Amino acid sequence: MGTGIGRYLIAAHLREGRSVGEIARAHGVHRSWLYKLLRRYRAEGEQGLEPRSRRPRRSPTAMSPDIEDEIVRLRQELARDGLDAGALTIHWHLARTLERPPSITSIWRALRRRGLVTPQPKKRPRSSFQRFEAGLPNECWQADMTHWQLADGRGVEIVNLIDDHSRLALASVAFPVTSALDVAQVFQAARARWGTPAAVLTDNGCIFTAEHRHGRTVLETELARLGIEHRRSRPYHPQTCGKVERFHQTMKRYLAKQIPATSLPLLQVQLDHFAERYNDARPHRALGRCTPRSVYETRVKAAPSGRPALQFRVRYDRVDGKGQVTLRYDSKLLHLGVGHAHDRRRVVLLVADRDVRVLSDEGELLCRFLLDPTRNYQRKVA
């Protein structure tokens, strides 16, 4: 009850002379409470009538100051490194060192007490989001390119490739300007390390697809050759590639906390360090607070279900001064030794996947090759 009614009841008893029992019955209060109020008034005067806190004098289960300090330290360290520093992530780190870490709610309250978080009651709950996720690792990879700046203001481009199911960072590579060939080489390097995916999801950028030009990029050619499905997002709808778009944000938040890179190689070092930490030392909310690598490695991997498509091409070229022509296969530039006898001669290459026949303009068969992608220089088939 408020201070006003307390003063009224005390005055009614002391000044009017009414009994405690009569006053209690008339105003619906308990006599014990009124006697307690009288004792406080006699001991402290008007101050004794002020409302008292009901907080317990001691709480055996309260968080210790040392643990609260550790929570604040983790929060500041993670935020300084540009990493996720929410209560869930802090709980994951504490669980690795403490036998009984405080709950996620207790951590959040500790951060709130220290003024490190602000409640957001109007924030949309995550349970209302619609999420789409591949069922297995390598079932679908997402690829995209984003922009960044070096210390001197030069713009660069970063190609990111992640696994849709596990969110594993498969590749994160910086280029001055990204070409279609760069994208294909990033993909082939990731495939050599992580295996061949069943599908690849990209947007409709010119480095990923040439369908609008009625052609094929290097990546599209390689995906068709390997029997990998190429999925493309709806135009002007980046949500389709939402996972890699979200990865861009996490990566940039990390880079923004680092010393600005003065060159492309230094930026690549930062990207490699980020990918390693992202994969192995950062619990992911969407993965039940597991790390991407642990999720990726504990499940069976998907594989392409499509039939590999053979490459059939007709290419017009000229033999160079070294008696060679070049041909790209498996994202690699291969050198075909036609022979010095044909230097500067115009030729026609009939390509049936790895079988290459070199003809003269008149249709004469000059030589034949069976491509070996592991070798840069290709020798003629006898």
Nearest to 166 by CA among 93, 220, 247, 90: 247
The mean pLDDT value for 154-171 works out to 94
Range with top average pLDDT, 85-99, 195-209, 278-292: 195-209
The per-residue pLDDT for 76 is: 87
Share of the chain above pLDDT 70, in %: 93
Q: Give CA–CA dist 91/89, Å, rounded.
A: 5
The per-residue pLDDT for 87 is: 85
The mean pLDDT value for 184-210 works out to 92
The per-residue pLDDT for 52 is: 74
Q: Give CA–CA dist 336/368, Å, rounded.
A: 9
The CA-atom distances, in angstroms, between 101 and each of 37, 73, 115, 279 are: 43, 15, 21, 23
The per-residue pLDDT for 273 is: 94
- With respect to CATH, is domain 141-297 assigned 3.40.50.300? no
Over 90: is that where the pLDDT of 332 sits? Answer: no
pLDDT digits over 214-244, tens only?
778 889 988 988 889 999 887 766 677 889 9
The per-residue pLDDT for 127 is: 54
Q: Give CA–CA dist 60/57, Å, rounded.
A: 10
Of 75-89, 135-149, 331-345, give the lowest mean pLDDT range. 75-89
pLDDT digits over 39-57, tens only?
888 888 877 777 777 777 7
Whether residue 233 contacts residue 201, with contact meaning beta carbons closer than 8 Å, is answered with: yes
Nearest to 250 by CA among 136, 129, 167, 174: 167
Over 80: is that where the pLDDT of 355 sits? Answer: yes
* Sheet with 332-337, edge to edge strand ranges: 324-329, 332-337, 377-378
Alpha helices in 1-47 (DSSP H): 3-14, 20-27, 31-44
**pTM for the full model?**
0.63
Task: Please report which confidence band the pLDDT of residue 201 belongs to, taking 50, 70 and 90 as the band edges.
Answer: very high
Task: Please report which confidence band the pLDDT of residue 6 belongs to, taking 50, 70 and 90 as the band edges.
Answer: confident
pLDDT digits over 236-290, tens only?
666 778 899 999 999 999 999 999 999 999 999 999 999 999 998 877 776 677 8
As its CATH architecture, domain 312-378 has Roll (2.30)
In the numeric block, which tokens belong to residue 102? 């405080």
Nearest to 338 by CA among 322, 352, 361, 354: 322
